[in-house]
Amino acid sequence: MIDQLDAEPLPRPSAEALAHSDQMRTRILEAIEARGGTIRFQEFMDLVLYAPGLGYYSAGAAKFGPAGDFVTAPEISDIFAECLATGFARVLKTTRGDIVELGAGSGSLAAGLLRALQARDVLPGRYRIVEVSADLRERQRRFIAENAPAMINRVEWLDAPPAVIDGVIIANEVLDALPVERFRVTDTNGEYLGVSSRDRDLHWTSLPADERLLRQLDLIAEALGSRLPVGYVSEWCPRLPPLVADLSSRLRRGLLMFVDYGLPRRQLYHPQRDRGSLICHYRHRAHTDPFLYPGLQDISTWVDFTSVAESAAGVGLILDGFTTQAHFLIDAGLPEPQARAGSDPRSRMELSRQVGVLTLPGEMGERFKVMAFSRDWEGRLPGLTGTDLSGSL
């Protein structure tokens, strides 16, 4: 997902889409009324993204690729899956386990990994997709059946990760979609930024801090060496540590990998980043208004990778490395576009474009990070043998 803010006006949704969004708005207003006039932003984000039948990831509109709202790395190029497969093959040879993918999106990463691993003659026992959206499950099933037909019988869909996992757990652009709390620093410490309504319009409202928010502000101050300035606005994700800890505890032997956009804590909460990282995507345009078209647009925030590392280490995983997507792909054997495309100029140009989007600093190369952990697996994952940013955590 590429999140440069777009200065052009957003496209107008269809009448059908607007009617869907109005239903979603009614659902939000009901929640606000039930809570006495305000809800925390985490509840709002949970509703607009995941409410059954209405939320962005639960309803039937296209989300990924050219017809959707954003594009992820596996949809840009098969190179992404091929580079991951180089390391995953080593893990699978040792563990003889499965691949568990969280939130498989369009299914493009699953199809790409299965093709690349088949070519290496190192397939997982099963490719298990944890997906809560029935609509996305069906889209993934169709995509894999069309693009890796020989592998479709190896794929299964789950409501939750298996209790014990040997092999690989991969979460590509999952953590950024977890519902977050929004906060503002005040002269007395801090406050939540919640959501209230007026004449069906949604707007920000102040809510008192609780002990959890105060502890989070203390963690940020500890990382920075000073308190955040008054007026500073940002987000934090209460669900991130328990999710990472839960996944880590299920890994018996193998690898846990996260690929997402984010920063170490002291960089994510730098005083100059005083508006936070909340971003919305609608029809390949990025903006910062989460109340626009509820149910029709994606909402996400940057990941606190220090929190990820702390949570995984807390249940005994070993941090194998933390680096940028560009460094990971290059170290994992990113093929030269000219060698891959042969002599056809158009193919060479297109592959060069794909490599640029995946690796250039202004595209996905530096904003996206790769973090991997292991348990009872001795090896060095291709992609994590070069530039290591673990010291920045």
Q: What is the pLDDT of residues 298-357, one digit of tens each?
A: 999 999 999 999 999 999 999 999 999 999 999 888 765 456 666 667 777 878 888 888
Does residue 111 lie within any of the structural domains?
A: yes
Rounded mean pLDDT, 91-112 = 95
Domain assignment of residue 2, yes or no: no
Question: Quick one: which H or E segment has residue 358?
Answer: helix 345-359
| E strand intervals along 59-179 | 98-102, 127-130, 155-158, 165-172
Nearest-angstrom CA–CA distance, 54 and 23? 8
Instruction: Supply the pLDDT for residue 259.
Output: 96
Which of these, 102, 95, 76, 103, lies nearest to 334 by C-alpha position? 76
What would the DSSP string read from start to end of 210-264?
A: -HHHHHHHHHHHHHHTSPPPTT-EEEE-TTHHHHHHHHHHHEEEEEEEEEEEEE-
Q: What is the pLDDT of residues 278-290, one digit of tens each?
A: 999 988 788 999 9
The percent of residues in the chain predicted with pLDDT above 70, rounded, is 93
* Ramachandran quadrant class, 53 (left: phi over 0; alpha: psi -120 to 50; beta: rest): left
Please give the structure tokens belonging to residue 261: 């956009």
Contact between residue 224 and residue 269 where contact means Cβ atoms under 8 Å apart: yes
pTM of the model: 0.92
Tell me whether residue 12 is exposed, middle or buried, using C-beta atoms within 10 angstroms of its C-beta: 0 to 12, 13 to 18, 19 or more: exposed
Strands 181-185 and 190-198 come out as: antiparallel
Q: Tell me what the mean pLDDT of segment 11-40 comes to.
A: 94
Question: Is 144 inside a domain boundary?
Answer: yes
Q: Please report, rounded to a whole number, the percentage of residues in the chain having pLDDT higher than 90.
A: 73
Does 3 reside within a domain? no
Q: Would you tell me the crossing angle of helices 78-95 and 345-359 to the nearest 10 degrees?
A: 70
Lowest-confidence pick of 87-96, 201-210, 224-233, 349-358: 349-358
123 within some domain: yes
CB of 259 within 8 A of CB of 370? yes
Q: Which uninterrupted H or E stretch holds 322?
A: strand 318-324
Q: Which domain CATH number covers 216?
A: 3.40.50.12710
Q: Who wins on pLDDT, 153 or 132?
A: 153
Residue 24 covered by a domain: yes
Kindly indicate the confidence band of residue 68, based on its pLDDT and cuts at 50, 70 and 90.
very low
Q: Is residue 371 part of a domain?
A: yes
- pLDDT for residue 3: 46
DSSP 140-162: HHHHHHHHSGGGGGGEEEESS--
Q: What is the mean pLDDT of the chain?
A: 90
Q: What is the pLDDT of residue 5?
A: 55
Q: What's the number of domains the chain is made of?
A: 1
Residue 7 pLDDT > 60, yes or no? no
Phi, psi of 379 (to 5 degrees): 175, 170
pLDDT band at 65 (very low <50, low <70, confident <90, very high): very low
Confirm whether 188 is domain-assigned.
yes
SS3 content of the chain, % helix, strand, coil (to 5): 40, 25, 35
Closest listed residue to residue 14, CA positions, set 66, 53, 47, 61: 61
298-300 and 279-282 beta bridge pairing? antiparallel
Per-residue pLDDT tens over the stretch 265-276: 999 999 999 999
Please tell me the predicted confidence (pLDDT) of residue 2.
Answer: 44
Two tokens, residue 357: 């989007």
Q: d(Cα 365, Cα 384) in Å, to the nearest integer?
A: 15
Lowest mean pLDDT among 11-15, 127-131, 344-348: 344-348
C-beta neighbour count of 378 within 10 angstroms? 7
Name the 3-class secondary structure at 172.
strand
What is the Cα–Cα distance from 1 to 71, expressed in whole angstroms?
Answer: 5
As beta bridge partners, residue 234 has 183
Tell me which residue has tokens 């652009």: 173
Domain span holding position 309:
15-392
Measured in degrees and rounded to the nearest 5, phi and psi for residue 83 equal -70, -40
**Torsion sign (Cα): 281, 159, 246, 95:** negative
Instruction: For residue range 166-223, list pLDDT tens digits in order.
Output: 999 999 999 999 999 999 999 989 999 999 999 899 999 999 999 999 999 999 999 9
Report pLDDT for 1.
47
